[in-house]
Structure 1
């Protein structure tokens, strides 16, 4: 006999002609097709697994909702992402996430176990990772921080690079993540990194340049061409990964302008040290001792290579993986072009030192924070040089 696929039903939602997916019967075929590769849980099963979503089971909050730790009946620990009703991730995006993740498996990607689409509830069930996120390990509450020596940090960078490389170059279809950052890199019990939060994932054909209808990402990690023009390609992820390398090496946040004597962003501060190569080591976390200076310098060089303002000058992730495992001698820091940065600026004042024609912001749009692309690179796309774009901060 053939196997049967069972979906576990909870109480029927109110409303005529509604099924467990909260849609009319006419849409069932598409919905079931999207969910064919994942296990479907009822809302009641997840209530039981989380002790009725008890606050003690809450382990995090992301851009789209709350994450709970749960225990299934068979004892399996899971992470349950319950999307908030205020979430901008609609039904279509939710199903895209399910369909995408269910077909993508790699040691450095968080595994999707199942989902719940019942009534107004939208939930994703992931494997549970014991050591939370890289962000918490580096600069979370003291009791939750993890002491990471250089070998662990290097391994986390390389593993994350392999995960992104898989998304870009091997997954079918190819995937751009859009929000690579320390809080989206999770760590298992052995500190193996796994990239999570595919709610921002975007699928695209091999040769296409996406013009995104809504910029989604995190300040400090945003590639300028994506933040300002909505141009979404693999190169935007590569830029974000370059910033992530600097975060791992320094143990500092990427989205604060508080580093160095001039209170620059982490990327700007690093770039300012490049003239004397050994000074690049000034950014190294003070808790790191006895680290191999040559290897750390190699990683910093790769980070600067990844964050160049002109996206076409950034390497592919496959090349990044190779370089992180080399001695970095082939990278000449002085030949690199200046990185592009996206910075929050005061609408009512001029930005000192801007060289891209953005000394004054356009008036109006009083309710939205505005960000500007700051660079002295002269050969950047001309349409980018005199533009501002409104980006929703997260």
Structure 2
């Protein structure tokens, strides 16, 4: 069965998981067009704030610096808002990373924490702890931070296409519909990001994998963002990390919910939920749907396991873009990731391998015989698609809008 439970907030100390806060997912910025080399060798999580800040490879900004970069945090530069704070568009010099006047230099995203209390301080610190040391093409790049009096800010690369959540679930000209090819590309990129975190050197458990935390650059390359809930994985002969149960509604693995035992396989389950969202175009939890369809995992699992019924899961907007074999292989992978028993889930390296093969197969079909594609949606059942979405849904514009609707954070605890 799926993990469907009350919605929740997020937060974590780098060394403990008992601190909760609300946060806003944000996009990032495109700092360089060239790809970055991976960096996987990081020390044990520092215990003090001073050690974390000193060990990070980030630029320290003054509050006045970032005030200038954002035109005094002008409402015109707001990219998004949430309980954790607001995100503003800012500008810095591409080479020195020093702030510049608005409109000059490279665009960045500046997240400004709310000053009402210190709810977000530990999550702010966790972001610096991980993104200040980890670099990978599929992780969003953190450029710098500000810690001055009560002010706490973070400066990220700007991601022009926003979040996967926006493109999958929001309608309008600002959000381009994601094609089957783009969904495979994004899924593979996100999987590579998780695999990097799980590897033998880093051993980081992301703990909050979801579509709103997958951001897209100009070319729809996926970058994982929001590391406030990330934890160091188990070391030595330990099989898991024991934590307070935290995360986001609909994505957490059942064993984690039941025991608080966190492993890399917990992330694999969350990936399965996201892959299912990518296939179906449905949200993990949707209270607007009939009872029995509100929890995506519970509704879809019987179809994923049946090759003849897998078309019922597929997003009608993808009609004609994939072959029956591709749909079945992707559905099988999602089903495996969603196994109730963690030991039956693949690791992320295996997920990357399977998705890579699937994308390669899709590229061959695109460049070869298009007649092999099957129009599964609607025509297979003879009725309208169960998602209730017209096949002629507007694709929208590919141009990035001036303002993005940053995903709103949850407003209540996941688990008491």
- TM-score when normalising by structure 2: 0.68
Distance 2:276 2:53 in 1: 43
Instruction: Specify the alignment match of 1:71 in structure 2.
Output: 91
Cα 1:274/1:77, change in 2 over 3 Å = closer
Instruction: Specify the alignment match of 2:340 in structure 1.
Output: 309
Distance 1:275 1:174 in 2: 31
Paired residue for 1:318, among 349, 374, 392? Answer: 349
Please tell me whether residue 246 in structure 1 is matched to residue 276 in structure 2: yes
1:51-130 paired onto structure 2 within 5 Å? 51-61=71-81, 64-72=84-92, 73=100, 75-85=105-115, 91-130=121-160
Distance 1:145 1:71 in 2: 24
1:1-394 paired onto structure 2 within 5 Å? 30=51, 32-35=53-56, 37-61=57-81, 64-72=84-92, 73=100, 75-85=105-115, 91-169=121-199, 172-207=201-236, 208=238, 209-212=240-243, 214-257=244-287, 262-274=292-304, 276-290=306-320, 291-326=322-357, 391=415
The Cα of 1:206 is off from its aligned counterpart by 4.0
Cα 1:87/1:304, change in 2 over 3 Å = farther
Answer 1 or 2: higher relative contact order, Cα 8 Å, separation at least 6: 2
Cα 1:211/1:88, change in 2 over 3 Å = farther
| Contact 1:65–1:87, Cα closer than 8 Å, also in 2 | no
* Secondary structure of residue in 2 paired with 1:302: helix
Structure having the higher Rg: 1
Distance 1:228 1:87 in 2: 31
The Cα of 1:122 is off from its aligned counterpart by 1.4
Cα 1:29/1:175, change in 2 over 3 Å = closer
| Contact 2:127–2:226, Cα closer than 8 Å, also in 1 | no
Which consecutive unaligned segments of at least 5 residues does structure 1 have? 1-26, 329-367, 371-389
The Cα of 1:34 is off from its aligned counterpart by 3.8
| Contact 1:129–1:188, Cα closer than 8 Å, also in 2 | yes
Instruction: Specify the alignment match of 1:376 in structure 2.
Output: none
| Contact 1:173–1:205, Cα closer than 8 Å, also in 2 | no
| Contact 1:139–1:145, Cα closer than 8 Å, also in 2 | no
* Secondary structure of residue in 2 paired with 1:237: helix
| Contact 2:126–2:227, Cα closer than 8 Å, also in 1 | no
Instruction: Specify the alignment match of 2:371 in structure 1.
Output: none
Cα 1:250/1:76, change in 2 over 3 Å = same
| Contact 1:49–1:71, Cα closer than 8 Å, also in 2 | yes
Matched residue count: 305
Cα 1:122/1:317, change in 2 over 3 Å = same
Distance 2:415 2:116 in 1: 18
CA offsets 1:149-168 (integer angstroms, 9 cap, x no match) = 11111011111100100011
Instruction: Specify the alignment match of 2:408 in structure 1.
Output: none
The Cα of 1:296 is off from its aligned counterpart by 2.1
| 57-66 vs 173-182, greater mean Cα deviation | 57-66
The Cα of 1:86 is off from its aligned counterpart by 5.3
**What is the aligned-residue RMSD (CA, Å)?**
2.6
| Contact 1:34–1:98, Cα closer than 8 Å, also in 2 | no
| Contact 1:49–1:70, Cα closer than 8 Å, also in 2 | yes
- TM-score when normalising by structure 1: 0.71
Distance 1:157 1:80 in 2: 26
